Structure formats: structure tokens, C-alpha cells
């Protein structure tokens, strides 16, 4: 019997209920990563310089947030005078 629009949901998880297996896997991975953090300095020392740089580049986004570019919208001034020029009067 195919699904017909307008019927109530029957069976399965209720809306908002987390998947138990996903939660368990996340906890296990979190524990493994936490235990491996102590070994990172030793592992990095054993790597050749090229691999070490590659690992650093992959880890940087987890340490430093990504910075977005600032974009000026239409209607904003294209040039903003420096503070020392803002209050200077024109001399005739």
C-alpha cells in the first residue's frame, strides 16, 4: 500500500528523538579522539615535514574559526573618510 498524503505518521521514532546508534557511535569516537590527543605530539614528530604540514593544515579549521569576507551592500558609501578628515571644514 503506497503512502498517501494526509495520513498520520505510524511507528518509528517520535519527532526530535535522537537515533540511539548515532549517539553511541559519537560517544565512542569522542572517547577515541580524546585518548589520542595525548599522542599527537609524538605522532607528529615521527612524520616527515610534508606530512606534518598537511596535518597542521587539516587541523587549523578546528582550532581557529573561519573568517568571512566583509561585503559592502548597495547604498553604503564606497569611501569612508578617516576620522581626522571627517570634521575638517573646507577653507575658502
Tell me if 19 sits within 8 A of 13, measured CB to CB.
yes
| Number of domains the chain contains | 1
Residue 67: burial class (beta carbons within 10 Å; 0-12, 13-18, 19+): exposed
Q: Is residue 29 part of a domain?
A: yes
3 occurs within a structural domain: no
pLDDT category at 82 given cuts 50, 70, 90 is confident
Residue 60 lies in a domain: yes
Percent of the chain whose pLDDT exceeds 70 = 80
Residues spanned by the domain of 30 = 20-72
Confidence band of 18 (pLDDT split at 50, 70, 90): confident
Residue 48: pLDDT above 90? yes
Q: Is residue 27 part of a domain?
A: yes
42: left (phi over 0), alpha (psi -120 to 50) or beta: alpha
What number of other Cβ atoms are within 10 A of residue 52's Cβ? 14
**Contact between residue 44 and residue 55 where contact means Cβ atoms under 8 Å apart:** yes
Helix, strand, coil in percent for the chain, rounding step 5:
50, 0, 50
Residue 5 forms part of a structural domain: no
Amino acid at each position: 500500500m503506497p503512502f498517501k498524503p494526509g495520513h498520520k505518521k505510524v511507528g518509528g521514532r517520535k519527532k526530535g528523538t535522537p537515533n540511539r546508534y548515532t549517539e553511541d557511535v559519537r560517544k565512542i569516537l569522542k572517547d577515541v579522539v580524546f585518548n589520542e590527543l595525548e599522542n599527537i605530539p609524538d605522532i607528529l614528530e615521527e612524520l616527515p615535514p610534508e606530512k606534518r604540514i598537511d596535518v597542521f593544515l587539516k587541523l587549523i579549521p578546528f582550532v581557529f574559526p573561519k573568517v568571512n569576507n566583509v561585503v559592502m551592500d548597495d547604498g553604503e558609501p564606497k569611501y569612508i573618510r578617516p576620522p581626522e578628515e571627517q570634521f575638517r571644514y573646507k577653507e575658502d
